[in-house]
Chain A
Amino acid sequence: MICLVLALLIVMNRMTALQKEVDFVSQHDLEVHDLANQIQKNMLDMETGMRGYVITGDEQYLEPYNQANRSWLDNYNKLHSLLAKNGSQQRTLEEMKPLIINWVSNYGEAAIQQKKAGNIAALNKQFNNHKEEKVMEQLRTQFTSFLTKEKKLTNERINELRQNNTNLKITLYALVVVVTVITLATAFFLSHSIVNTIREVVKTIHSITESKVDLTTRIHVKTKDETRELAEAMNSLLSSLEKQSWIQKSVTEISLIYQGITDVTELSRAFLTKLAPMLEAVYGVVYLRKDQDDDTVYVKAAGYALADDQTAASFRLGEGVIGQAAADKRIFLIDQLPEEHFKMTTGLGASSPRNLLVAPILYDGRVEAVVEFAALQPFQSQHLTLLDVLQDKFGSAITSVLGRMEVERLLGESQVLTEELQTQSEELQAQSEELQMQQDQLQTTNEFLAMEKQSAEQRAVELKKAKDELEEYSRKLQESSQYKSDFLANMSHELRTPLNSIIILSQMLMENDGEMDMDEVKESARVVHTAGGDLLRMIDDILDLSKIEAGKIEILTDEVNVTELPQMLQNMFDPVAAKKNLAFEVVTAPDVPDVIATDGQRLQQILKNLLSNAFKFTEKGSVTVRIELAEPEKTAEYLGTNRREPVLAISVTDTGIGIPHDKQEIIFDAFQQVDGTTNRQYGGTGLGLSICREFTHLLGGALTVESEPGEGSTFTLYIPSRLESEKPELLAREEVAVSLSEPVEQEEVPPLEDTSSDEQIFKGKKVLLVEDDGRNVFALVTALEKKGVAVQVAENGKVAVDMLQEQGDFDLVFMDIMMPVMGGYEAMKLIREELGMHELPIIALTAKGMKGERDKCMDAGASDYIMKPFNINQLFSLMRVWLTEQVESE
């Protein structure tokens, strides 16, 4: 190394010297040459300038001359000083100086002066003698020799430089070679030593890699240098990595077990099963946090290698080491446990683990669980690290599994509810559908039945009609035979009377032997005539009547001009009125239609009959005919409702003898007059009113009478116009379909109760047990309270009723039957009837084998019954039924 530095220094020194020499040569020599040339040029300038001036006289040529004249000495001096180290050259230069001065002063200046003076001759002389040229020549020669010499000097110096340079090169090459050799030797030695160690390390690393990352392999180095340190660092890295990798691996393995686990207990068990061997623990237990009301309790969820009774079931926060670990949120590591703390049992014997590890599982700052492990040997740092890492993972797994369990529970619940809703809606639909269908069916049946009924009714009506008709017939038959006999009797009487007079009178006239005078004969003949006329009228009337009754009278409906009626009547009866000295008038109301449709001839006949009667029975006063429109109520009364055509009311009023009230009905019967004597008094067949009434009926009208004996009578004839159909037109009744009320759709879905657990059916329900047998009470109360049911006991029916009266919020009553004071039947009756609790489920407890008890129970109002002795599951089954809120059915 030192040699190298020395060599380098020498070379450097040499290089500096060489550089200096080169500088000298290049600077000094160049300057020397330059200055020599400068002086030479100055001389040349002076000569040229002098000559130019001399020849031309132009002062311009003097300028270079003067210039050169001024500068040459400077140049000379510079050169002189430069050549200080070179004596021979300096001397040569000094030799040239007087020559120059000589030339300048003797020739140059002189020539110029002479020129200026215009001394051409002198000039010519001067030039002609060539002395000046010789000086100049001499100068040139000297300059040339100077320059030559200087060039030679320069060349010498360059050669010297070359030599020096070559020397230096050789030195350098030698140096390089030496240094290279030394370096190579050193490098080879060093690298050999380093590579070997590194190879070892690399080999070890390779072997680690090849052996699937076996971090247990260590590098073994024999040297004691940095490489060893490297290897040791590597080894410690490996140890750390091994630990890390173990933790990582364990975490991964444990993380894997979380997958697919949906139950937190199962998760805890899997966690323990996996983790315990990793921690080399022989026992393990997991306590999970459970919030009970306001209390936080850690409940044992899973154990590892534990019998169930070996551990405490739960700890409250702060209770025991478990509780304390949860409260402090820190790991408890306990070693050197006393032997009796805990025994590990194997098939062969038992020993005591001496090390205990209690670690809280934190998640989100909350202790989700506490794990406890026991091991035979002390726990190591990586175990703690692993637990530390797992804390969060296990905590989050617990939370997520719990969350998932909750979600699944809710999902299940909602699924159940959805299905229930679905089912109920389907049922509702089916129900309403079936109701609808039943309704339809019922309607069809009803329609069918209605039809049947209708036809039956129709048949009945027809039968009734037929019967009525038959009765009518028989009545009529009877009547008609009566009628006939009456008629015949009457007719024979009526006929006999005039006939009798005719026969007697005619016989008297026949046997007349002159003893009768003419007046008597005339009188007799007049009576016979009258009687014959009466007979004839009577026969006509009888014919009419029989025709009517035989239905042989044809009604010819035609337009009858009502306005013509009064005149016609007046014409007909004015003479009669005048004869009897009676007032007769026909009054027509203004709103009477001009024309009605009816049978005019029959109408006339009726009116004629009525008026004849009126005049016949009236001795003094008046007979009045009124033609007017019938009042609707009268029409309705006599002709039935719904008459739309106009109805005329023609009344004939007289001031005659009148008709007694009891006779007013019979006057229309044939051959009836108010009394037999009247016949004689007033004559007539007694058929007139009968015929009137018959005709009136034929015309669709009615005939009424109002009369007061002694004051007169009023016969009123109601005659409808028969232009339109005779029968009243039925109002086209709109068939109002009976709107069958649609079955009320049960829109409202009954509130869905939470049936997710059995507990919810029983818990918090209030049950009244009415029972006098202490043993039964005890058994039932115990069983029911186990289910979370609140039981109250009444020792007899009386007490039960009182209790129910006081507190009406019982969900269910169990009722014994045979009790003192008040038995079950009576109590149930009271509860149902007196207290009005119809919906409260009452379950009768009956003794088996007592026949009829069931019916008595039901009659008393029990909802259900159960026979003693019963099995408790049956009781619970029954209770589930009666404690479950029912869907409304129908």
Chain B
Amino acid sequence: MSFEEETETTPLNELEQIEINLLLEGLYQKYGYDFRSYVRTSLSRRIIHRMRAERLPTITALLEKILHDPAYLERLLNDLSIRMTEMYRDPSFFAAFRNEVVPLLRDLPEIRIWHAGCATGEEVYSMAILIQEEGLAEKTKIYATDINEKALRSARKGAFPLEKMQQYTKNYLRAGGKKAFSEYYTTDHQFAYFHPIMEDNLTFAQHNLVTDGSFNEFHVILCRNVMIYFNNDLQQKVHRLLYNSLADGGFVGLGSKESILFMPPGLDYEEFNATERIYQKRK
């Protein structure tokens, strides 16, 4: 039986499981990227996708390439860490944030927001616009981090394809945007470029949720649709990291399909808005 014959849906055989384990272990030992605690099903799909894209017969062959050729590493990393995101994704979340969370932030002398796993930055700019519209831009610092350097480079540019802007506009309006969305961007024939928004107070940096620790105390942490790729242990670990990075009374925002059911015990959150997955750390 050859590997090519297997379809996506075929469950991995034992050998492939071993190979994937070895690959992840190799990736960690050689480069320090720790995907060992990611959900295996997703990882396997992505690794096999990469293996096929590189026209390699086995995962072991992919491992060999990765250990010896950094070009392969970058492509695999990109595959493993690529995420879907859009501006004002789940507009109701941003609406709730605007209407319910922002009033509570208003009185703070300084607001620090952390986008953990910001990917290509769509949400970061969404948040920045929102903060600006709420008149908090002066005292707000947004930190956007992701493991994927390529995604970060893209995020820093703040250029998003025109082909998606109609959806973004709709999202913006649904999320309660106060102005015309077109006031925030200029376009060319390919991209919409967002004006330098909160430029001084917007920081992009690489950060690995799996291996890196807390780097500040935040009033808001958004970590949406990031942990769904993590296995339960890692989710708990990241939850603890987020909890420990949160100021008392701070808010954490999760993805619409994520719940705190899997949080480790002992994290004292109050369900601030359960439908929008906004939780508040008890004081």
Contact = CB atoms under 8 A, between A and B. Distances in A.
Asked whether A and B interact, the reply is yes
B261 A445 contact: yes
Nearest to A857: B173
A884 B163 contact: yes
Interface residue tally of chain B, by bracket? 35 or more
A185 interface: no
Interface string A747-782: 000100001111011000000000000000000000
A878 B185 CA distance: 8
- Of the candidates A437, A758, A863, A882, the one having the most CB atoms from chain B within 10 angstroms of its own CB is A437
Contact of A889 (B45, B164, B185, B258): B164
Given A437-B42, A864-B169, A877-B185, A755 B190 contact: yes
A844 to B, nearest CB: 9
Interface residues of A, number: 50
A864 B183 contact: no
B49 interface: yes
B186 A881 contact: no
Interface stretch (A48-56, A176-184, A423-431): A423-431
B169 A440 contact: no
Given A437-B39, A445-B257, A841-B166, A430 B83 contact: yes
A442 interface: yes
Given A440-B39, A881-B192, A427 B187 contact: no
Nearest to A883: B162
Nearest to A437: B228
A441 B257 contact: yes
B228 to A, nearest CB: 4
A63 B45 CA distance: 140
Given A445-B261, A755-B189, A884-B163, A431 B180 contact: no
B164 A877 contact: no
A500 interface: no
B166 A886 contact: yes
A776 B166 CA distance: 25
A441, A742, A867, A878: most-surrounded residue (chain B CB, <10 A) = A441
A445 B46 CA distance: 23
B167 interface: yes
A430 B81 CA distance: 9
A882 B164 CA distance: 10
B189 A436 contact: no
A438 interface: yes
Contacts of A875: 182
Interface string B141-170: 000000000000000000001111111011
Given A758-B188, A884-B163, A887-B163, A877 B41 contact: no
A221 interface: no
A433 B45 contact: yes
Given A760-B189, A881-B187, A441 B258 contact: yes
B182 A864 contact: yes
A843 to B, nearest CB: 9
Contacts of B49: 429
- Shortest beta-carbon contacts, A-B, top 4: A878-B182, A881-B165, A884-B162, A880-B187
28 contacts: A426-B82, A430-B82, A433-B84, A434-B83, A434-B84, A436-B45, A437-B225, A440-B39, A445-B261, A742-B9, A755-B189, A755-B190, A757-B189, A758-B189, A854-B173, A863-B170, A864-B182, A866-B180, A867-B180, A870-B180, A870-B182, A874-B180, A874-B183, A875-B182, A884-B165, A886-B164, A886-B166, A887-B163
Given A874-B182, A880-B162, A889-B164, 19 more contacts: A416-B190, A426-B82, A427-B84, A429-B49, A431-B84, A434-B225, A440-B41, A742-B9, A858-B173, A863-B169, A865-B180, A874-B186, A877-B182, A877-B186, A878-B187, A881-B162, A881-B182, A882-B166, A889-B86
